[in-house]
A and B are shown apart, each in its own frame.
Chain A
Amino acid sequence: MTEKIKPIFGIDLGTTYSSIAYVDEYGKAVIIPNAENERVTPSVVFFDETNIVVGEVAKESAKLYPNEVVSFIKRSMGEPNFIFEYGNERYRPEEISAYILKKLAQDAQQHLKEKISESGDEKITDVVITCPAYFGINEREATRKAGEIAGFNVRQIINEPTAAAVAYGSLDTTQNRVVLVYDLGGGTFDVTMINISKESVEVICTGGDHNLGGKDWDDRIVTYLVEQFQEETGITEDILDDPDTWQDLQLSAEKAKKILSQRPKTPVSITHGGKRVKLMLEKEKFEEITEDLLERTVDFTRDMLEAAGQKGYQHFDEIILVGGATRMPQVSERIEKEFTMVPKVFDPDEAVAKGAAIYGWKLALNDDLIRRISEKTQKPIEASGNLSEMMEKSEISARDFQEAARELAEDTGYSLPSVENAMLRVKNVSSKSFGVVAHNLTDEEIVFNLVLRNTTVPVNIKKKFYTATENQKTVLIRIMESETSTVEIPLEHATEIKTAVLHLPPNLPADLPIEIAFYLNEEGQLNITALETSEYRKIQVQVDTASVISGEEFEKAKERSQNLVVH
């Protein structure tokens, strides 16, 4: 008999393109094409009166309706003041991202329905969404919120390079190796050192810039084209002030970039105000005007390697290139020159989504195994617990586990080893440092970093604060994110991402230590708990972040999304 486990889908929510994948009945990760039968969907949203259109149509509409189209929304994730206004409504980045997610899921659902007619209506509920390793706490939370607005049960937010490494590792798990994942996407750049082995994918170090990606290469072409246009026509005004021209050039630039990855030159035409200029863009020129961008990625890579070296990792075995922008031949050429190693271009557009799907599948197997073991042993087990941890702590016997695994393999038709591999351990590091505002010896406000970047997560840090006055009512904690590896840094080098207010019980004495525990989980979510130390009562912590959609706004967005069909 063939039983099915509830699948968890992997979604690569990219700056320029997004895709969705799942693991099929043969245990293989596959990309699900969209309604237009494309494997990737442009992350572009077009507000067409009452309709929301996502994907290629939206992207093409940008030329005609530049003010109704939103692109590159991922770059604004976690930016509290980004607002897209359409009609009388205001949309936050989370909600716009939700539309992209919705489109992916909707199309995938439709596709699966057609393909596997016998399985009836397969509704996508559980997903794993990826984000750049370099995303901070707020950006990750925003990504999760986007998934929730789209109506998903977001099982986990995992890092794109980790996902790529999972996909890469799943190809051949016999060998332990240290891999450098160079991920140059549409809008973000990540470089990550990952230790892949049979039982684990362990991130050693990560670095990057979430404002550097293929789009920057496009922008350089745009700027160049504008200049050429001005030179040819003698027009001095900024033709990019015209939204139509801007969008038109943006698309032309992207096309030119893609062509130049294959050919030595490409014709481009620029039209503005009734004037039209045709010119030939050559590969050399393109490389010349974007050389510094490529150099920046190399710098980030060097910095990351230095940090890895400090952790004792002086060596890596391979470099894999993921992300669409790594298709530009100058990227692999430059990397090869820098590290005297031929990088592997690994499924640049799909690796991340596939990795996320594999990761999701393992989560699903894990859930199923737990269910089976729980039924077998008549013991309640946490539904999404960590099996390998439980086994280590002898909460589960190896025999029960093997039995459950065998049954699962039999019931589903998956191979036993792959089921047993569901215990894949993923170890992550924090890509940013985070700390709290404190006072130093000279009583200046500084940021005291509790977790330095590249610290392995989850991590639990306790810190004591002292009440200043008797019967103090509240304590305000300002949580700051930064990109340094120093413990004490000036306030201006960090960004406030959250504030936490402790509501203290009444009648506490002055100078009473309050123990605050900061828990940064493997997904980069931050939880805060606090205890007062006189009677060890738990203190209510109210975490406030304006950077991520929440409260009423969140509910409203969710409701709006529920009643919406995305085209």
Chain B
Amino acid sequence: MERENFYLLLELPCDPPETDTRVIEEAIAKKQSEWSRLRNHPTKGLHAQKCINLIPEIRRVMTDDTLRSKEAEAARKISAKDHQDKFPEIDRHIDILMGKGHITPEEAHKLARVHGLSEGEIQGRIAGRKNEKYHRIDQQITLRMAKGYLTESEIANIAKRNQAKLDEVRKRVRCPVRKNSDDKDAPSIRQLDRSLEKTIRDNLKLLNKSSLYDFLDLPDSADIETLREQAVKKKREVASTSKKDAVATATNTLAGYCVTLFKSDESRNAYDVSLARTKLSELDSDIDIAGINGKIRPEYFEILVKKAVDFGMEEQEAQQYIKNYCRQKKWAVEMAPDKRRRIIMAAGAGLAVFLLLIIGGTIFYSIHKQKSIEADFQMLMTQVRQKNEPDEKIKLLQKFADAHGQDDNYSEYMDNVRRQIGAFARAEAEAGYARLEAQIKEMTEKGDFSKAIARYQKYLESSPPQSLVRKAEAGIKELREQIEARDFKALESLIISGTPPEKIAGTDRYLQTHPEGANADRVRQMQTDISGEYFVYIKNELENCEADKNWQKCASLCKDYLDHYDNSYADRLKDKLVDYREKIKQDRILEALKQKASQFDSNYDNALGVYEDFLSAYPESPLAEKIVKEMDRLRELKKEHESEASKQRFRRLLARTKDRFKENTRDVVTDSRTGLMWQLLDSTMAGPEKCMTYEQALEYTKNLKTGGYTDWRLPTAEELAGIYRQPPYFPAMDEKWYWSADQYSSYSDGWRHIVDTIDNRPGSDKRPERRDSRECGAVRAVRGEP
């Protein structure tokens, strides 16, 4: 678990972080005392105890500059996240409670407790939410004020939309209210002079303020008295500064406007209406841009509506406003279709004139051209005659044809050119074929029939004239017949002298190359004739592969026969094939298991687990026997591995005995003090048994051949204790005690056989402990003179 952040735990400021070690130390001491008091608190006791134990760590981190700054960073992150996580929820709760128009102090108190904040914080939050709400209301009022008045229904709408009371909204309206838009009895609206409006706007812009209210740093809803007072104050402020720059001037000007405009409700109202108009003028200017072409495209329209909604209008209202604005400007909100048609007609007339011009020019030009064409043709003919090779002549003619083939001026020469191309081409083809024949002849004489056929085929690919194609095809046929005859002859001799698989392969080969060959039927008959012979061969082979357990090979032999024959032998092999396939499947499973098990390398328990899982899932599997064998092998490996690890560990421990115990012969340790030689590993680690009775221990020792010695024996208790009692000790093993050679008989409760044993654990006094010989213990064998 991640520990708590120390800045937060100590309740120290983290932004900016407290770094004064004196203050931090004080905070720690304070908390230490607090946690100590809570140490036995029924519910907080545990946390307190945890904190008490953290104190050294807290001190370590908080007194180290680097660690502390890291801690502060982490604290800041946590606090920021907490705040983010918390506020949307708090705001939602405030909104709900504000639904009735206000929040009682009791509610604020409860909210504070629920969210673990101070009441002050919650009040601040509530004020913020209120301001936000009022800001929205003000925005919506302002927009509607631009026309100089608000209607009752507009006010009701605003109230409803903002979950506010009617009175609340009305209080904020700073212009006359009419019952409806065509209320004739309503007082007329005084409007601010446009120029005045502009001056104010420009000055505000200079100071980067949005309104006179903003300039005075007061809300739009501030009462007139306050506004005036603030204006006077501003004026005095400017007066007192010695610098008289643009800002000072603008400030002065605006302060002056404030004093006058905020003199009466009427004048203020005029300003408010103007302000609203300014707001709307922003939207108007956007519409002006969109309608720059005298129309509003649908996509612009959407953007404008969205913008208007942002200003505080409702969507329908926004749409209406934009449409009305456009109507005034006589702009279409969508593109008019009749306009498009006019454009197309004008374009058609232009095109006609253009074509006429081109036709006239062409006629004039063609007459002028005729003479030079004839000269060209004559020149070509001369060049053609100069060339010797038909393909070169063709090339020249073709080039001419390509260049002028489309030109009507050359049409009378073109036929001539094409005729010449044809004649030259035929001559060229005949010559080519004659060359081919010569090559083929050469090949057939050498017996290269296939090569000859390939040569014909290559020739055919070059799309020669039809007459030559027929000639070449006839040539191929003749060659094939020659090949077939040759192959059949070879096959006939193979059938007499070959082995069965060779015979089968021979017939297969023939039938593959000459499926329609003259002797195909005879060959098929030959294949049928050797079915018995081939079966005998297969059977013998199966015996071999079965002996090798090469099921894959067996299966492929069967399959081979089955591919050729469907007779009673085949039926016998079909059964076998099923059998082999099953065996292959099992082999694959085993292989997959081995593969899986091998991934664990020396983690033999996991590897064994793979097999155990399989066996428990398929207890009847034919693989069970093999798996059990494999598991035995793994267990053997595991034991070896463990024993090797123990040996290594043990050797390291031995190395620390400072020359007393030395492994001079592998797995045999000599005690330099006594000269006795000890088994490096005890019976539990080295031997096959987990633990053994005394009788088994004697047997084990007798059969022991460690290090090549055969004279191993059980040590006396004294010898055994000797290696553990005086330092440097023989390293202790997991085994708790060892059998010694000292044994007694006891008649206390029936016949009992008692043996001295020596405990090898730390803390034992190494005095012999007598045990029943039937208990299960371990052996550390020794050799040498007692």
A: which residues have CB within 8 A of B? 67, 71-72, 75-76, 79-85, 90, 215, 218-219, 222-223, 226, 236-238, 240, 243, 246, 249-250, 441, 450-452, 455-456, 459, 461-462, 464, 466, 487, 513, 515
* B658:A238 contact, CB within 8 angstroms: no
**CB neighbours of B727 from chain A (8 A):** 462, 464, 515
Tell me, in angstroms, the Cα distance from A238 to B32 when the chains sit together: 22
User: How far apart are B75's CB and chain A's nearest CB, in angstroms?
Assistant: 22
Choose from A81, A215, A513 the contact partner of B55 (Cβ within 8 Å).
A81
User: How far apart are B563's CB and chain A's nearest CB, in angstroms?
Assistant: 60
A84 and B33 in contact (CB under 8 A), knowing A215-B40, A450-B762? yes
**CB neighbours of B416 from chain A (8 A):** none
* A83:B763 contact, CB within 8 angstroms: no
B208 within 8 A of A: no
* A82:B36 contact, CB within 8 angstroms: yes
Q: Which B residues between 1 and 52 are near A, CB-CB below 8 angstroms?
A: 29, 32-33, 36-37, 39-45, 49, 52
* A238:B43 contact, CB within 8 angstroms: yes
**CB neighbours of A222 from chain B (8 A):** 42-43
B86 within 8 A of A: no
* A75:B763 contact, CB within 8 angstroms: no
User: How far apart are B766's CB and chain A's nearest CB, in angstroms?
Assistant: 13
The 8 closest A-B pairs by CB, nearest first: A85-B33, A219-B42, A222-B42, A81-B55, A72-B40, A455-B763, A81-B52, A82-B36
Choose from A240, A250, A461 the contact partner of B762 (Cβ within 8 Å).
A461
B320 within 8 A of A: no
User: Which of A81, A90, A487 has its CB near the most chain B CB atoms (within 10 A)?
Assistant: A81
Tell me, in angstroms, the Cα distance from A218 to B762 when the chains sit together: 43
B656 within 8 A of A: yes
**CB neighbours of B42 from chain A (8 A):** 218-219, 222-223, 240, 246, 249-250
User: How far apart are A324's CB and chain B's nearest CB, in angstroms?
Assistant: 17
User: How far apart are B644's CB and chain A's nearest CB, in angstroms?
Assistant: 13
Task: Give the tally of cross-chain contacts (CB within 8 A).
Answer: 76
* B52:A451 contact, CB within 8 angstroms: no
* B33:A83 contact, CB within 8 angstroms: yes
**CB neighbours of A462 from chain B (8 A):** 727
Known pairs A80-B56, A238-B43. 12 more at Cβ < 8 A? A79-B53, A81-B32, A81-B55, A82-B39, A83-B32, A84-B33, A215-B40, A223-B43, A236-B114, A246-B41, A441-B649, A455-B763
User: How far apart are A540's CB and chain B's nearest CB, in angstroms?
Assistant: 22
* B37:A84 contact, CB within 8 angstroms: yes
User: How far apart are A274's CB and chain B's nearest CB, in angstroms?
Assistant: 16
* B40:A75 contact, CB within 8 angstroms: yes
* B56:A81 contact, CB within 8 angstroms: yes
**CB neighbours of A238 from chain B (8 A):** 43
* A452:B763 contact, CB within 8 angstroms: yes
A240 and B41 in contact (CB under 8 A), knowing A79-B52, A81-B53, A464-B656? yes
Q: Which residue of B lies closest to A457 (CB)?
A: B763
Interchain residue pairs with CB less than 8 A apart (16): A75-B40, A79-B52, A81-B32, A82-B36, A85-B29, A85-B33, A218-B42, A237-B113, A238-B43, A249-B42, A250-B42, A452-B761, A452-B763, A461-B762, A513-B658, A515-B727
Tell me, in angstroms, the Cα distance from A215 to B45 when the chains sit together: 12
Tell me, in angstroms, the Cα distance from A405 to B53 when the chains sit together: 52
Tell me, in angstroms, the Cα distance from A450 to B763 when the chains sit together: 8
Q: Which residue of A lies closest to B53 (CB)?
A: A81
The interface residues of chain A, by DSSP majority, are classed as mixed
* A240:B763 contact, CB within 8 angstroms: no
**CB neighbours of B45 from chain A (8 A):** 219
Q: Which residue of A lies closest to B728 (CB)?
A: A464
* B44:A84 contact, CB within 8 angstroms: no
Tell me, in angstroms, the Cα distance from A85 to B36 when the chains sit together: 9
A240 and B44 in contact (CB under 8 A), knowing A81-B56, A82-B52, A451-B763? yes
B596 within 8 A of A: no
**CB neighbours of B40 from chain A (8 A):** 71-72, 75, 215
B652 within 8 A of A: yes
**CB neighbours of A451 from chain B (8 A):** 762-763
Tell me, in angstroms, the Cα distance from A441 to B42 when the chains sit together: 45
**CB neighbours of A466 from chain B (8 A):** 656
**CB neighbours of B728 from chain A (8 A):** 464
User: How far apart are A506's CB and chain B's nearest CB, in angstroms?
Assistant: 23
Q: How many chain-B residues does the 8 Å CB contact rule pick out?
A: 29
**CB neighbours of B41 from chain A (8 A):** 240, 246
Tell me, in angstroms, the Cα distance from A218 to B42 when the chains sit together: 8
Tell me, in angstroms, the Cα distance from A90 to B763 when the chains sit together: 42
**CB neighbours of B56 from chain A (8 A):** 80-81
**CB neighbours of A218 from chain B (8 A):** 42
User: How far apart are B184's CB and chain A's nearest CB, in angstroms?
Assistant: 59
Tell me, in angstroms, the Cα distance from A215 to B301 when the chains sit together: 76
**CB neighbours of B44 from chain A (8 A):** 240
User: Which of B41, B656, B763 has its CB near the most chain A CB atoms (within 10 A)?
Assistant: B763
**CB neighbours of A79 from chain B (8 A):** 49, 52-53
User: Which of B32, B33, B37, B40 has its CB near the most chain A CB atoms (within 10 A)?
Assistant: B40
**CB neighbours of B43 from chain A (8 A):** 219, 222-223, 226, 238, 240
Tell me, in angstroms, the Cα distance from A32 to B33 when the chains sit together: 35
* B39:A83 contact, CB within 8 angstroms: no
Tell me, in angstroms, the Cα distance from A552 to B55 when the chains sit together: 21
Tell me, in angstroms, the Cα distance from A250 to B36 when the chains sit together: 17
**CB neighbours of A71 from chain B (8 A):** 40
Tell me, in angstroms, the Cα distance from A246 to B44 when the chains sit together: 11
Q: Mark B623-661, 1 if CB is under 8 A from A, else 0.
A: 000000000000000000000000011001000101000
Tell me, in angstroms, the Cα distance from A165 to B26 when the chains sit together: 48
Q: Which B residues between 699 and 757 are near A, CB-CB below 8 angstroms?
A: 727-728
User: How far apart are A450's CB and chain B's nearest CB, in angstroms?
Assistant: 6
Q: Which residue of A lies closest to B49 (CB)?
A: A79
**CB neighbours of A515 from chain B (8 A):** 727
**CB neighbours of B36 from chain A (8 A):** 76, 82-85
Q: Which residue of A lies closest to B736 (CB)?
A: A310
A461 and B33 in contact (CB under 8 A), knowing A75-B40, A81-B53, A81-B56? no
User: How far apart are B659's CB and chain A's nearest CB, in angstroms?
Assistant: 12
Tell me, in angstroms, the Cα distance from A382 to B316 when the chains sit together: 108
Q: Which residue of B lies closest to A513 (CB)?
A: B658
Q: Which residue of B lies closest to A440 (CB)?
A: B649
**CB neighbours of A487 from chain B (8 A):** 762
Q: Which residue of A lies closest to B48 (CB)?
A: A82
User: How far apart are B630's CB and chain A's nearest CB, in angstroms?
Assistant: 30
* B32:A67 contact, CB within 8 angstroms: no
**CB neighbours of B761 from chain A (8 A):** 452
**CB neighbours of B648 from chain A (8 A):** 441
User: Which of B49, B114, B728 has its CB near the most chain A CB atoms (within 10 A)?
Assistant: B49
User: How far apart are A249's CB and chain B's nearest CB, in angstroms?
Assistant: 8
Q: Which residue of B lies closest to A67 (CB)?
A: B37
* B763:A461 contact, CB within 8 angstroms: yes
**CB neighbours of A249 from chain B (8 A):** 42
* B656:A76 contact, CB within 8 angstroms: no
User: How far apart are A532's CB and chain B's nearest CB, in angstroms?
Assistant: 14
User: How far apart are A55's CB and chain B's nearest CB, in angstroms?
Assistant: 18
Q: Which residue of B lies closest to A66 (CB)?
A: B37
Tell me, in angstroms, the Cα distance from A200 to B24 when the chains sit together: 56
**CB neighbours of A450 from chain B (8 A):** 762
**CB neighbours of A250 from chain B (8 A):** 42
Choose from B113, B114, B763 the contact partner of A459 (Cβ within 8 Å).
B763
Q: Which residue of A lies closest to B113 (CB)?
A: A237
Tell me, in angstroms, the Cα distance from A184 to B619 when the chains sit together: 52
Tell me, in angstroms, the Cα distance from A299 to B199 when the chains sit together: 89
Tell me, in angstroms, the Cα distance from A243 to B114 when the chains sit together: 21
Tell me, in angstroms, the Cα distance from A240 to B40 when the chains sit together: 12
**CB neighbours of A513 from chain B (8 A):** 658
User: How far apart are A466's CB and chain B's nearest CB, in angstroms?
Assistant: 8
Tell me, in angstroms, the Cα distance from A29 to B574 when the chains sit together: 99
**CB neighbours of B49 from chain A (8 A):** 79
* B52:A441 contact, CB within 8 angstroms: no
User: How far apart are B381's CB and chain A's nearest CB, in angstroms?
Assistant: 99
Tell me, in angstroms, the Cα distance from A515 to B726 when the chains sit together: 13
